């Protein structure tokens, strides 16, 4: 049975509430519960005398403070999380016995943590990086953690390379630079010698690696997992999360500027939207296929650098996850949450993907150095809602008080308890996959094709998305000091797409090499002696599902629209568009030369919380300048207004100007283009419709080649 909906909050919340502490109307105490009379002055020998060692109140306070920090996660240190629920709407009984995937309509509590990978805990949210997408399902049969990313493939094929990958991408060991960035020598040195990374590197060079919002990105379980039904039959499955707000990225120039204006941009966006009741939602999608089907694919489903194209195996949407509650305490919940791909429930099982197999060791191991004890499962956020009974005992910070004499199995003194689930025909049992093979340290030949799917990804993008990818490679490789590394990577790009390689090479002042460098080949041949091998013909040459721009989006919900205003702004010019935008769920934010209040031409008061000093265009999805002669005149004197407009234009965002405000464009580099569907003028329904339609597409992609204005 999955978790049933409980009134007044879900089951996990009820459990967490038992550990909540509310200081409201309470007297300050020590950790031993003694009321504190004075928290301002240490105990001294005389008011001007030395402090006394006896001061247990001071000692306890400083002692605790001195030890407040724990090690940050070795990867995915920077993260934000929220609570929510998962509701199943399509029973998967045919495929799995996991009850939370069988009983439709039931709600399973979840805790989801999003993260960047490379940066430290305090680094910017807008790094070019994969995003972690870790979901903890608190099911009645135990915890299921789906520890994925927003990219469906991984850099490496075997877990033994993980420490090398992370050492290469993290700040360089001699000078600890750069923070939260892959644009440096060690990363490109590594990936230029590891052609298997080419596919994921291509994803990280796309705008997928700089999401507009954590609420607007897909999630992927990446590995092939198994579903196992009551009868013991198994199928393979790939897990997907599809965001209902669409999938959107920012542009690289925006990302860099957002990092300056609001390094917490994603964290704030998630927190604020949940506080406002704009609960982010994702549908759980499954690609289900059999062993026989997998055997016929042109790629190996155990290779985590490969995806299963949606055109080959469609994604079935089977349930919805809604994030509806912010944590009460960042440390206790978000920081102490411990995810593990090995936390699975009956009905789900692993595949032999060598990356997944290696992960199964790493996650509980890392919690030990991070959280300090094997008892991390007892922390409130990690506690299962299914009861825990076993003979594991003691260790640092043990919290459960387990009764009785028998802490071993089998026993008679404890009545044989806790007993095997087998006695009731239940419990987790591994899928009895047949394995008989020689022990080898080696790589399957079926893992040797590194470029077909990187090409598939690139060729599935629109020309504008491809331009962003070429820019990203040029930026990153441009930051690499070693020319040999740049050349080596161009060799990889040449194998993927010569046109792309040509674009990047020209920006680096280099020529496109004929093919892979000797160094790359030498390393690749350590895994595959006859490398490169001719890959089988792929099933699909293009996959529209891989392009963000090609995905249809009918919503403007939660987009932030900047209205540039000053005193005397015309009421009617503000009202209609504001009303319609808000009707669609968007948020209108007034930005004026100064914070405070302004009066409209009709004498209404508008509270201004944001000025050109506090905010920047990159924090908004669209811009409108309403009319009112006095307001427009004031704005015209403000240089930041023109910067705002230029920058919005440059980032291909929708801009609308009332009749009065149109003249502002005369002072810009922007030329009115007829086919620019995101540059709108006038008033009334035409303006409203055009603006909303442009916002739905998120970016005016047609403007991409012409957008070069100073900003
Ligand atoms: Fe990992 C954390 C995702 C490969 C070792 N990983 C971590 C988190 C996510 C992922 C989302 C953060 C969880 C949280 O929010 O607390 N990792 C992935 C994905 C991978 C992957 C999608 C490939 C498909 N990871 C991977 C390998 C290893 C690790 C191959 C080691 C062999 N990952 C870790 C870790 C972390 C971690 C060191 C650091 C903090 C933690 O586990 O709890 O154990």
Q: How far is the CA of 75 from the centre of ligand 1 (A)?
A: 7
Residue for token digits 């062993």?
Answer: 291
pLDDT higher than 80, residue 2 = no
pLDDT of residue 6: 41
pLDDT of residue 579: 97
Peptide bond into 410 cis (omega under 30): yes
- Distance of alpha carbon 108 from alpha carbon 105, whole angstroms: 10
In angstroms, the Cα distances linking 197 to 382, 443, 448, 480, 569 are 33, 15, 12, 17, 54
Regarding the beta carbon of 219 and ligand 1, being less than 6 Å apart is answered no
Q: How far is the CA of 132 from the centre of ligand 1 (A)?
A: 8
Mean pLDDT, range 608-633, rounded to an integer: 97
**pLDDT band at residue 675 using 50, 70 and 90 as cut-offs:** confident
Q: Among 105-114, 300-309, 700-709, where is mean pLDDT lowest?
A: 700-709
Q: Taking a C-beta distance cutoff of 8 angstroms, is the pair 120, 177 a contact? A: no
pLDDT of residue 424: 83
Q: Is 534 exposed, middle or buried (0-12, 13-18, 19+ CB in 10 A)?
A: exposed
Q: How far is the CA of 325 from the centre of ligand 1 (A)?
A: 24
Regarding the beta carbon of 360 and ligand 1, being less than 6 Å apart is answered no
Q: Taking a C-beta distance cutoff of 8 angstroms, is the pair 631, 657 a contact? A: no
Q: How far is the CA of 131 from the centre of ligand 1 (A)?
A: 11
Residue 641: count other Cβ atoms within 10 Å of its Cβ.
23
Residue for token digits 């953690």?
Answer: 145
pLDDT higher than 90, residue 81 = yes
What does residue 393 show for φ and ψ, rounded to 5 degrees?
Answer: -135, 155
Regarding the beta carbon of 162 and ligand 1, being less than 6 Å apart is answered yes
**3-class SS string, 647-685:** HHHHCCCCEEECCHHHHHHHHCCCCCCCCCCCEEECCHH
Residues of the chain with CATH 1.20.1370.20: 448-546
Give the distance between the most distant pair of CA atoms in the chain.
90
Closest listed residue to residue 610, CA positions, set 573, 560, 569: 560
Structure tokens at 308: 């299963």
pLDDT higher than 60, residue 3 = no
Q: Taking a C-beta distance cutoff of 8 angstroms, is the pair 581, 561 a contact? A: yes
Regarding the beta carbon of 339 and ligand 1, being less than 6 Å apart is answered yes
pLDDT of residue 708: 80
Regarding the beta carbon of 75 and ligand 1, being less than 6 Å apart is answered yes
Q: How far is the CA of 695 from the centre of ligand 1 (A)?
A: 35
Structure tokens at 427: 């419990």
Closest listed residue to residue 205, CA positions, set 475, 495, 505, 449: 475
- Distance of alpha carbon 382 from alpha carbon 463, whole angstroms: 45
Right CATH for 560-706 from 3.30.1540.10, 3.40.50.880, 3.50.50.60, 1.10.10.10: 3.40.50.880
pLDDT higher than 80, residue 60 = yes
Q: Which atom of ligand 1 is nearest to the CA of 132?
A: 11
What does residue 470 show for φ and ψ, rounded to 5 degrees?
Answer: -60, -40
Regarding the beta carbon of 78 and ligand 1, being less than 6 Å apart is answered no
pLDDT higher than 80, residue 521 = yes
- Distance of alpha carbon 220 from alpha carbon 666, whole angstroms: 47
- Distance of alpha carbon 413 from alpha carbon 426, whole angstroms: 24
For strands 655-657 and 348-349, give the pairing.
unpaired
Q: Taking a C-beta distance cutoff of 8 angstroms, is the pair 150, 239 a contact? A: no
**pLDDT band at residue 504 using 50, 70 and 90 as cut-offs:** very high
In angstroms, the Cα distances linking 249 to 215, 218, 271 are 11, 11, 19
Residues of the chain with CATH 3.40.50.880: 560-706
Quick one: how far is CA 641 from the chain centroid?
32
pLDDT higher than 90, residue 705 = no
Q: What percent of the chain has pLDDT over 70?
A: 99
Structure tokens at 461: 């993008």
H/E stretch holding 165: helix 162-169
pLDDT higher than 70, residue 327 = yes
pLDDT higher than 70, residue 629 = yes
**pLDDT band at residue 21 using 50, 70 and 90 as cut-offs:** very high
Structure tokens at 298: 């042109």
Which is more confident, 316 or 673? 316
Regarding the beta carbon of 366 and ligand 1, being less than 6 Å apart is answered yes
Residue nearest to atom 35 of ligand 1 (CA): 363
pLDDT of residue 105: 81
Structure tokens at 212: 């507009």
* pLDDT, tens only, 332-353: 999 999 999 999 999 999 999 9
Per-chain mean pLDDT for the chain = 96
Catalytic site includes residue 76 = yes
Closest listed residue to residue 364, CA positions, set 399, 405, 331, 395: 395
Structure tokens at 647: 């920058």
- What is the rounded (10 degree) CA torsion for 670, 504, 534, 546? -30
Q: How far is the CA of 192 from the centre of ligand 1 (A)?
A: 23
Helices (H), 177-298: 185-193, 198-204, 252-261, 265-276, 291-296
pLDDT higher than 80, residue 5 = no
**pLDDT band at residue 707 using 50, 70 and 90 as cut-offs:** confident
Regarding the beta carbon of 195 and ligand 1, being less than 6 Å apart is answered no
Mean pLDDT, range 376-405, rounded to an integer: 97
DSSP three-state, residue 112: strand
Closest listed residue to residue 544, CA positions, set 481, 629, 461: 461
Tell me the best of 80, 111, 147 to mutate to test the pocket of ligand 1, counting ligand atoms within 8 Å of each CB and taking the most: 147
Residue nearest to atom 27 of ligand 1 (CA): 359
Q: Which atom of ligand 1 is nearest to the CA of 220?
A: 22
Residue for token digits 């927190």?
Answer: 271
How big is the chain, counted in residues? Answer: 711
Q: Which top CATH class is 448-546?
A: mainly alpha
Q: Taking a C-beta distance cutoff of 8 angstroms, is the pair 489, 192 a contact? A: yes
DSSP three-state, residue 538: coil
Tell me the best of 111, 114, 132, 371 to mutate to test the pocket of ligand 1, counting ligand atoms within 8 Å of each CB and taking the most: 132
Regarding the beta carbon of 117 and ligand 1, being less than 6 Å apart is answered no
The CATH number of 79-382 is 2.40.180.10
Q: How far is the CA of 559 from the centre of ligand 1 (A)?
A: 31
Q: What percent of the chain has pLDDT over 90?
A: 95
Regarding the beta carbon of 593 and ligand 1, being less than 6 Å apart is answered no
Sheet with 679-681: strands ordered across = 610-611, 587-592, 560-564, 622-625, 655-657, 679-681
Residue nearest to atom 28 of ligand 1 (CA): 359
- Distance of alpha carbon 668 from alpha carbon 625, whole angstroms: 14
Residues of the chain with CATH 2.40.180.10: 79-382
What does R_g of the chain's alpha carbons equal in angstroms? 28
**pLDDT band at residue 470 using 50, 70 and 90 as cut-offs:** very high
**pLDDT band at residue 711 using 50, 70 and 90 as cut-offs:** confident
**3-class SS string, 580-621:** HHHHCCCEEEEEECCCEEEECCCCCEEEECEECCCCCHHHCC
DSSP three-state, residue 82: strand
Residue nearest to atom 26 of ligand 1 (CA): 359
pLDDT higher than 60, residue 547 = yes
pLDDT of residue 117: 98
Q: How far is the CA of 558 from the centre of ligand 1 (A)?
A: 30
* pLDDT, tens only, 216-239: 999 999 999 999 999 999 999 999
Structure tokens at 303: 């290779």
């Amino acid at each position: 049975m999955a978790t049933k909906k409980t009134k007044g909050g879900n089951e996990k919340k009820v459990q967490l509430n038992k550990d909540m502490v509310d200081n409201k109307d309470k007297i300050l105490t020590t950790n031993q519960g003694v009321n504190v009379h004075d928290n301002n002055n240490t105990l001294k020998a005389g008011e001007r005398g030395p402090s006394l060692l006896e001061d247990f109140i001071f000692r306890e306070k400083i002692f605790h403070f001195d030890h407040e920090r724990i090690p940050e996660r070795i990867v995915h240190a920077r993260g934000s999380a929220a609570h929510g629920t998962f509701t199943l709407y399509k029973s998967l009984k045919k495929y799995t016995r996991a009850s939370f995937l069988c009983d439709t309509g039931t709600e399973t509590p979840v805790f989801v943590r999003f993260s960047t990978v490379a940066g430290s805990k305090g680094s910017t949210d807008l790094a070019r990086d994969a995003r972690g997408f870790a979901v903890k399902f608190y099911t009645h049969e135990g915890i299921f953690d789906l520890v994925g990313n927003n990219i469906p493939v991984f850099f490496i094929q075997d877990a033994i390379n993980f420490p090398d990958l992370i050492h290469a991408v993290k700040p360089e060991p001699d000078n600890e630079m750069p923070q939260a960035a892959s644009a440096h020598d060690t990363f490109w040195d590594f990936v230029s010698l590891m052609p298997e990374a080419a596919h994921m590197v291509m994803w990280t060079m796309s705008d997928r690696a700089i999401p507009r919002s954590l609420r607007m990105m897909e999630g992927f379980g990446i590995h092939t997992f198994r579903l196992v039904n009551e009868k013991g039959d198994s199928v393979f499955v790939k897990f997907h999360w599809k965001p209902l707000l669409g999938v959107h990225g920012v542009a690289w120039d925006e990302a860099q500027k957002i990092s300056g204006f609001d390094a917490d941009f994603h964290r704030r966006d998630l927190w604020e939207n949940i506080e406002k009741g704009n609960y982010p939602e994702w549908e759980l999608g499954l690609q289900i296929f059999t062993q026989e089907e997998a055997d016929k694919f042109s790629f190996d489903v155990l290779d985590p650098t490969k995806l299963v194209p949606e055109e080959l195996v469609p994604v079935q949407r089977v349930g919805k996850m809604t994030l509806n509650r912010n944590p009460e305490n960042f440390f206790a919940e978000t920081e102490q949450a411990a995810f593990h791909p090995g936390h699975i429930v009956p009905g789900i099982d692993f595949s032999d993907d060598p990356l997944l197999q290696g992960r199964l060791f790493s996650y509980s191991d890392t919690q030990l150095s991070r959280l300090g004890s094997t008892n991390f499962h007892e922390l409130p956020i990690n506690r299962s809602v299914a009861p825990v009974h076993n003979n594991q005992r003691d260790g640092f910070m043990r919290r459960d008080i387990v009764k009785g004499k028998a802490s071993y199995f089998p026993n008679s003194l404890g009545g044989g308890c806790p007993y095997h689930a087998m006695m009731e025909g239940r419990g987790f049992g591994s899928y009895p996959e047949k394995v008989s093979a020689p022990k080898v340290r080696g790589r399957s030949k079926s893992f040797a094709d590194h470029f077909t799917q990187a090409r598939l990804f690139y060729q599935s993008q629109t020309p504008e998305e491809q331009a962003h990818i070429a820019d990203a490679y040029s930026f990153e490789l441009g930051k690499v000091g070693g020319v040999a590394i740049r050349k080596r990577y161009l060799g990889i790009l040449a194998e993927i797409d010569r046109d792309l390689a040509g674009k990047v090479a020209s920006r680096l002042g280099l020529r496109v090499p004929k093919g892979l460098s000797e160094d790359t080949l030498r390393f690749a041949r350590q895994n595959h002696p006859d490398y490169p091998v001719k890959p089988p013909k792929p099933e699909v040459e293009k996959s529209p599902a891989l392009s963000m721009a090609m995905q249809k989006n009918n919503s403007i919900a939660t987009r932030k629209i900047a209205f540039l205003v000053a005193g005397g702004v015309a009421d009617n010019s503000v009202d209609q568009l504001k009303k319609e935008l808000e009707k669609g769920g968007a948020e209108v934010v007034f930005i004026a030369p100064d914070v405070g209040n302004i009066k409209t031409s009709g004498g209404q008061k508008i509270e201004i919380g944001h000025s050109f000093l506090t905010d920047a265009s990159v924090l908004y999805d669209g811009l409108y300048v309403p009319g009112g002669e006095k307001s427009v005149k004031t704005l015209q004197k403000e240089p930041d207004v023109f910067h705002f407009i230029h920058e919005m234009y440059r980032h291909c965002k929708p801009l609308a100007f009332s009749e009065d405000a149109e003249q502002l464009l005369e002072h810009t580099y922007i030329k009115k283009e007829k086919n620019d569907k995101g540059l709108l003028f006038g008033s009334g329904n035409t303006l409203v419709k055009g603006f909303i339609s442009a916002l739905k597409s998120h970016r005016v992609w047609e403007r991409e080649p012409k957008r070069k204005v100073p900003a």
